[in-house]
Structure 1
């Protein structure tokens, strides 16, 4: 490997009898490359595979709860996530000790997390050993499926043919961001029963690894447990923003990269014509938007406000 960073995705099974998806990605040219992908059974197996990369910066995305402080109901991080993503009809199922201990007397994800803490893993992107919870459904929706849930999970009312179709769509989404690999060329039509479930878990492990990579340098939202970030998910990069110019006038625009765009307004001809003769400009306000259309509509609405109304909006 030429990169000093690896991105590991674990789609952790809740019970000891089931297999967990495990994937390792590394940066490769302008993409990501799968260097290992498999199904693993025990926590020991997972820890062993992770420890192979002890000489690298390791970023782990785990589709399972790292900490479960609540006996019943939802954790606070899930309540906040469900509130934020309700407009997309995306929600997480309740995570609590009552539910999870039905599968195992010890909650497997907590056991794994404690083992990894001993190896130096932290919920902090500034660490060389990073771990966060991730959620494949929100990643797929926000990055690939037009902010909608992809219904690839088997459940009542979904026959095998329908699930295969959705998993094939899922596979093609991942093929857009990961270099060619035989897993992503598999014929889903031949899969059924446990084989189809295993393939789903493998795809989820790729998504977990991709999520932890994407959120490192792109738009993401973090949620906390015990006052420390624990869960991360991609969000739409579109923003509407307001700048205060050197002459005290206000400028409103849209962007997918706020820091870069403000820098362009201040330093290059790529910035708006209006701001070139009014430098330096200062970012005083921004809003997240679902997509480009919403951002442009919101930009228009803000531009129709009076100066007094704009200042009230940005609370300057």
Structure 2
């Protein structure tokens, strides 16, 4: 991670009359620091703000569609996402030209993407100017809220008190991964009406920026439009793994961070008691799991296997 990496989150409003959340994060003290957060109105305003970082490596997470090739229904990327995330009861609303042009004569997110492409932005993490669609709901669920939707959006049956409670939870989640900032210390009770909505939009902008940062170096899934990646989301970090110890015995465990956990087994006292006297250990197998419960069930199942069966499982993974 270079020191001049900048992560920008945009919660884009559908219409020209509404404001968009805009946030800029930079790596800071093994965390991320908010260096700018605001509400912006026009596409020109947004482009001008992004231009301030033209000498940096910029990664943008946009909560809006970059391309909308379909007149109605869902894009294929939404269909695939909805299928993959159905087990978590998470879905995206339809994105199509008929729906979006009801809010505006042109599709604002396509206009923004066109402008940014002219400035060299690509749907490619290998670029110095990166842009992907992101979805705050899936990020919050996968990384913070136990694979469940956080119901902080306005909806029939949700009163202001309930919304405030959910947004306060949301704010506290973000405070765990972002260096202290006044917006994350705000008293939610002070907000109502449009002020509460504006606050929510700025939190979503932080999440968009954090998503594009997280997905650069962690478990993520990409979805395509026109045969090129366009949308990225974190996926469940839970894994079950098998280690080969120095005495050739096998150890099975669960984790959300394989690299860190293997290092702990090899170097620290917070590694398992079993592996502490059998160092060094080597990672020989892992599986991705839907959630913590799934990971623990699979851990138990693998532990019930004989050594011969475990070695067969490990061998099959290398062949694949």
Q: Is TM-score (shorter-chain normalized) higher than 0.5?
A: yes
The whole-number CA distance in structure 1 between the counterparts of 2:173 and 2:241 is 30
Task: Confirm whether residue 301 of structure 1 aligns to residue 301 of structure 2.
Answer: yes
Q: CA deviation at 1:246?
A: 12
- Structure-2 residue corresponding to 1:217: 217
Task: Confirm whether residue 227 of structure 1 aligns to residue 227 of structure 2.
Answer: yes
Kept after mapping to 1: 8 A contact 2:245/2:275: no
Counterparts of 1:179-258 in structure 2, within 5 Å, are 179-241=179-241, 252-258=252-258
- Structure-2 residue corresponding to 1:141: 141
The whole-number CA distance in structure 1 between the counterparts of 2:169 and 2:192 is 16
Q: CA deviation at 1:222?
A: 1.4
Q: CA deviation at 1:11?
A: 0.1
**Structure 1 segments unaligned to the other structure (5+ residues):** none
The whole-number CA distance in structure 2 between the counterparts of 1:125 and 1:84 is 23
What's the CA shift string for 1:31-76, capped at 9, x where partnerless? 2111111111111110000010000000100000111111111111
TM-score of the superposition, structure 2-length normalised?
0.86
Task: Confirm whether residue 157 of structure 1 aligns to residue 121 of structure 2.
Answer: no
Q: 1:177 to 1:257 in 2, by over 3 A?
A: closer
The whole-number CA distance in structure 2 between the counterparts of 1:238 and 1:249 is 23
Q: 1:247 to 1:102 in 2, by over 3 A?
A: same
Q: CA deviation at 1:77?
A: 1.2
**Structure 2 segments unaligned to the other structure (5+ residues):** none
TM-score of the superposition, structure 1-length normalised?
0.87
- Structure-1 residue corresponding to 2:18: 18
The whole-number CA distance in structure 2 between the counterparts of 1:32 and 1:73 is 38
Q: 1:246 to 1:122 in 2, by over 3 A?
A: farther
Counterparts of 1:111-122 in structure 2, within 5 Å, are 111-122=111-122
Q: CA deviation at 1:89?
A: 0.9
Q: How many residue pairs get matched?
A: 312
What's the CA shift string for 1:6-36, capped at 9, x where partnerless? 1100000011111000000111112211111
Q: CA deviation at 1:109?
A: 0.6
Which range is displaced more, 256-265 or 209-218?
256-265
Residue 206 of structure 2 aligns to a residue whose secondary structure is helix
Kept after mapping to 1: 8 A contact 2:23/2:36: yes
- Structure-2 residue corresponding to 1:28: 28
- Structure-1 residue corresponding to 2:108: 108
* RMSD of aligned residue pairs (Cα, Å): 2.9
The whole-number CA distance in structure 2 between the counterparts of 1:70 and 1:289 is 33
Kept after mapping to 2: 8 A contact 1:247/1:278: no
Which range is displaced more, 217-226 or 123-132?
217-226
Q: CA deviation at 1:255?
A: 3.5
Q: CA deviation at 1:286?
A: 3.6
Kept after mapping to 2: 8 A contact 1:302/1:310: no
Which range is displaced more, 203-212 or 140-149?
140-149
- Structure-2 residue corresponding to 1:177: 177
